[in-house]
Structure 1
């Protein structure tokens, strides 16, 4: 009943107000103290290129400074949350001269790591609404958020190993959020887990129907706005900077590992095989 009432209220009241922006791939709207940040590259399953990463950095910065916002719902447009780093971008970088490609890989992973740190340090509660796939770097975005709400068709995976890559940030955040045993299983096997399995692990509440994903995430975010903002900020700082005191240095090291791994023959073959839709032939 609460979710139905929330949805009706959302429809009945004035439309959510968009924050003025020049961003190309991200939309931001605010409703009743909750901002919704939407990744908007549905044709690529919201794959992360440098433009989307930069737009997300801008969006979280804008929302951080927006006084009327007390919590954030983080979603992807279309049928997926985020399919990870755009492998077309990695292939384009691989085609550059070696000294240029290494510099570009480091820049890409550094910018992505800075985005993760920005989400982790955001003083406002961030709820990731996961519909469809959250894969690789997309899973890292979900794990950097404070909480996740999953639709019944949501699927999570850390699949870098299957592409000959190193998902450094994803593995680091898996270990931080879910513990070493689960991180090892997902990062080393590349296995995909569905919403029911994620719920069984205690990562999320009961998965919801697809058409209820925003409502459920907004409901959770709204509940988190009922406490004093100072208390929320202090507790989040304790969780992400106190309990996870090594997290940020680990993320920096993970970015370097991911960039270095992109220079290997296995990574080149894994990326090419994925883009050519064929099984990889590992060197």
Structure 2
């Protein structure tokens, strides 16, 4: 499928999604949101797509959020039901998404990062939730996710001021996994390759159990996880057998994702 505002590269079980508006710091319009929503719908449905990397084109920006110039010119702020970039409200996605942050990640761009499972950043990356400075608020999940990831006081310090955070400080605040001296995309590929060494059934079961357990105490979560769809699929899968067979035969496992 041809897209206007994004590009998609398939590499086996990995997909690399690039926001392709470098002239606008990869800020998103309504149509760009819709395209990303379609891509992540397909990613969620397709059993052959196991891991996704999301990045921005160029060297200056990952995503500068919603295109305020577009909005000021009369464009409405519209996102698909799955949220900003088709991702921030996709609460049932069990497949891993990695953010490769190659520059500015502001507003909705920062909220995309917070919605991803793993985030790596180039040394020049800058993060912020500056919505209060333009009369808005981080309502694409930033308000909820940032405080859970870095603690209330530190999150309030970022959100109530809209201040900018460097890649190194983001690492220290632990809402990214790595500052990548060899480049965000290279680091994201490295993380993706390590995930692809694992059974996708196990990865999905783990992600679903982790996210659902956030709203439960530990004993309750341990009881309930057996009934989660991804956990049941993992336990009944050919991969659950393949892992043991490969271990016994001292060979690398051949995952089928089934």
Do they fold alike, i.e. is TM over 0.5? Answer: yes
Confirm whether residue 88 of structure 1 aligns to residue 69 of structure 2. Answer: yes
1:99-110 equivalence runs, <5 A: 104-105=76-77, 107-108=78-79
Equivalent in 215, 221, 229 of residue 186 of structure 2: 215
How far 1:178 moved relative to its partner? 2.4
How far 1:111 moved relative to its partner? 6.3
More helix by share: 1
Partner of 2:253: none
How far 1:198 moved relative to its partner? 1.2
Confirm whether residue 224 of structure 1 aligns to residue 195 of structure 2. Answer: yes
Q: Which runs of 5+ in 2 are unaligned?
A: 217-258
Q: Measure the CA separation in 2 of the matches of 1:22 and 1:32.
A: 19
Which segments of structure 1 move beyond 4 Å, counting only runs of 4 or more?
A: 107-111
Aligned residue pairs total: 213
1:86-165 equivalence runs, <5 A: 86-93=67-74, 104-105=76-77, 107-108=78-79, 112-113=83-84, 115-118=87-90, 120-165=91-136
1:41-80 equivalence runs, <5 A: 41-78=21-58, 79-80=60-61
- Per-residue deviation, residues 35-86 of structure 1 (Å, max 9, x unmatched): 1011111111111111110010011112223333211111010121000111
1:219-258 equivalence runs, <5 A: 219-244=190-215
SS in 1 for 2:10: strand
Q: Measure the CA separation in 2 of the matches of 1:93 and 1:109.
A: 19
Q: TM-score, normalised by structure 2?
A: 0.75
Q: Measure the CA separation in 2 of the matches of 1:66 and 1:125.
A: 13
Equivalent in 171, 176, 189 of residue 161 of structure 2: 189
Q: TM-score, normalised by structure 1?
A: 0.69
SS in 1 for 2:100: strand
The root-mean-square deviation of aligned C-alpha atoms, in Å, is 2.1
